[in-house]
A and B are shown apart, each in its own frame.
Chain A
Amino acid sequence: MTKAKTLIEHLEQQGISRRGFLKFCALTTSMMALPPSMAPGVARALETARRPSLIWLSFQECTGCTESLTRSHSPTLENIIFNYLSLDYHHTLQAASGEAAEQARETAMKENHGQYLVAVDGSIPVKDGGVYSTIAGISNLEMLQQTVEGAAAVVAIGTCAAFGGLPRAHPNPTGAVPVQELVRDKPVVNVSGCPPIPVVISGVLAHYLTFGRIPDLDDYGRPLSFFGTSIHDRCYRRPYYNKGLFAETFDDEGARKGWCLYKLGCKGPTTYNACATVKWNQGTSFPIQAGHGCFGCSEPDFWDAGGFYQPLSAGIGSVGGVAAVAVAAGAGAGIAAGLAQQSQRKHAQLQHEKVTVADLKESES
């Protein structure tokens, strides 16, 4: 069987009808978070779409992003996307290992120079020449630079690749940095989340596949279609927030009634992601629906943004020490100033000479 050149050929080879293709297009449109009226346009674009090569680089990461993707909830759809994309290198998923694996990457880079997509999960350590993470004796930093050189676009998958994530959390011992700090001359899409929602990963890839370019991005380089609204804005518990009805603990009456989790540390208001609509595990639920506040895992520096169970309006870190020092310093300075002024006054009183009539006459003349 010859390698299919376009998606439609690929589907025909699999015996999928035009009707099936249209269903696929409707679902892909949905997956890209585009309005259903765009489905015919998506169909037209996919008819001529070419098969891109995808190189997946895993750096300082926990493989949670790949786990998320392989447990994605619409296997048929993702299968097609991933079968259609030529996943030429992914050191966790590929059968080859060692030199053969690295060769696959180099071959893909050579054959598709300027055309291939690079997906990165994990942050890149740059301290001490990047020695803290290496693959096949090549530092992550070097491998990224090598691989990105001929890429058409880079997709940073997960919060580590997008913003540095856990490795970059204080005190960042490896000098970890996100992809966007190292790749300046190629389009970079950040698909943040710890892990990201699988359908968001495939949605971004589908977008590239369909339109041949990356989707519209927000200020953090994330696709607007998925990261355009906050969890809070789309949260089904939002009406309770508006009414001021909050769960105070995880097992009180408010928690049982499904009231807002703001006071239990929910970061929904400052977190932009699609969890509240797309949800997890085949659209079953998402953290807030399960009774736990949002961690804000798709935002930069979420590990350093205070305790997970601290309300957003509370301070980060204790103020007790600062307050004690301030009281001591303020009291010391205040007492000193007060006493100094008191003695000044007493001194002035002692120096005070009574004015006589003669003095006044003198000054008049």
Chain B
Amino acid sequence: MTSTEWLIWVRGPGLQLSLGIFILGMTYRIMQTYFLGRAKNLAEPRGSQWLHGMKTIWWRSFFHPGMTIRGYFTIISGYTFHLGFIITLLFLDQHIELFRSWTGLSWPALPPIVITITAVLGIAALVAVLVDRFADPVRYLLSDYQDYLCWVLTVLPLVTGLLLVYKMWLPYTSLLVVHIISFEILLVAIPFTKLSHVFTIFIARWYNGAIAGYKGVQS
């Protein structure tokens, strides 16, 4: 297959397939979790579950002092990576065009130089957490192949995207194919690995907040 044929495949059937698997997998995970049901709470509710659930989803995204009990490294690298990745994903013109082709929605982009910085910061943070994973004996022992797999799947779209913007390594068409494929593999992997936290984290947070809300304590 020529690189043009590859490009047509990854932009067409490849994208439909990976997006389909991603949506199917995520819907499956969410519905399965919901229909597992929760044990009936016989105590009288002392507050709103929904309100506290939603509040927790929102507030847990932000820094609070208790988070630094084990030092600053995880907090800083975690925020740097997640912000870098999300901004790169959502605010590059080319990416917005992809979302627009799916949903019809678009929003203002950030200049390419800003996206370059967020992508580089994202990659740097990923490298830092990988080094830390090897350096910290406890973390090293706790890591299994899935942690490394997720790391590779996450870093690849960032690296190939950066190479694409600066036209390095491969001709543009081939690199675009590699970049899109790396994103499609990530999409397929998300529902079936720890990366499913992109959605399930909100369920978990909501649940935590809802429990507190039911009990009428601060969430």
Contacts and interface: CB of A to CB of B under 8 A. Distances in A.
Interface in B22-49: 22-37
A331 B19 contact: no
A287 interface: no
Interface string B158-197: 0000000001000011001000000000000000000000
Contact of B31 (A220, A300, A301, A330): A330
A242 B102 CA distance: 25
Given A263-B93, A326-B20, A326-B27, A243 B12 contact: no
A330 B16 contact: no
A244 B112 contact: yes
B172 A269 contact: yes
Contact of B98 (A302, A314, A334, A335): A314
Contacts of B8: 301, 304-306, 316
Interface stretch (A101-109, A121-129, A338-346): A338-346
A219 B5 CA distance: 14
B24 A329 contact: yes
A271 to B, nearest CB: 9
B21 to A, nearest CB: 7
Nearest to A332: B31
A301 B8 CA distance: 9
A356 interface: no
Contacts of A258: none
A330 B111 contact: no
Contacts, number: 140
Contact of B93 (A246, A302, A304, A342): A246
Interface in A215-254: 219-220, 230, 232-233, 242-244, 246
Interface residues on A, range: 35 or more
B11 interface: yes
Contact of B27 (A232, A262, A313, A330): A330
Contacts of A301: 4-5, 8
Interface string B108-140: 011110000000000000000000000000000
Given A220-B2, A262-B93, A334 B111 contact: no
Contact of A326 (B15, B21, B32): B21
A311 B97 contact: yes
A310 B8 CA distance: 13
Contacts of B112: 242-244
Given A242-B112, A327-B23, A334 B101 contact: no
Contacts of B16: 315, 317, 319, 322
B7 interface: yes
Interface string B82-95: 00000000000111
Contacts of B35: 334-335, 337-339, 342
Interface residues of B, number: 46
A319 B19 contact: yes
Given A334-B29, A338-B32, A270 B15 contact: no
A313 B20 CA distance: 18
Contact of A244 (B4, B7, B29, B93): B93
B100 interface: yes
A324 B195 CA distance: 23
B12 A313 contact: no
A194 interface: no
Interface string B199-216: 000000000000000000
A244 B111 contact: yes
Contact of A322 (B20, B26, B30, B34): B20
A323 interface: yes
Interface in A281-311: 299-302, 304-306, 310-311
B4 A319 contact: no
A345 B109 CA distance: 49
A345 to B, nearest CB: 8
A326 B15 CA distance: 13
B20 A262 contact: no
Contacts of A338: 31-37
A174 B8 CA distance: 22
Contact of B28 (A300, A316, A330): A330
A323 B23 contact: yes
A314 B2 contact: no
B27 A263 contact: no
Given A316-B8, A319-B16, A330 B26 contact: yes
A159 B206 CA distance: 57
Contact of B7 (A232, A233, A305): A305
B17 to A, nearest CB: 8
23 contacts: A219-B2, A220-B2, A304-B8, A305-B11, A306-B12, A313-B95, A314-B101, A315-B16, A319-B20, A319-B102, A322-B19, A322-B20, A325-B20, A329-B27, A331-B28, A333-B24, A334-B28, A334-B31, A334-B32, A338-B33, A341-B32, A341-B36, A342-B35
Q: Which 3 A-B pairs have the closest CB atoms?
A: A338-B35, A334-B31, A330-B27
Given A304-B8, A305-B7, 7 more contacts: A244-B93, A244-B112, A299-B4, A331-B31, A333-B32, A337-B32, A338-B36
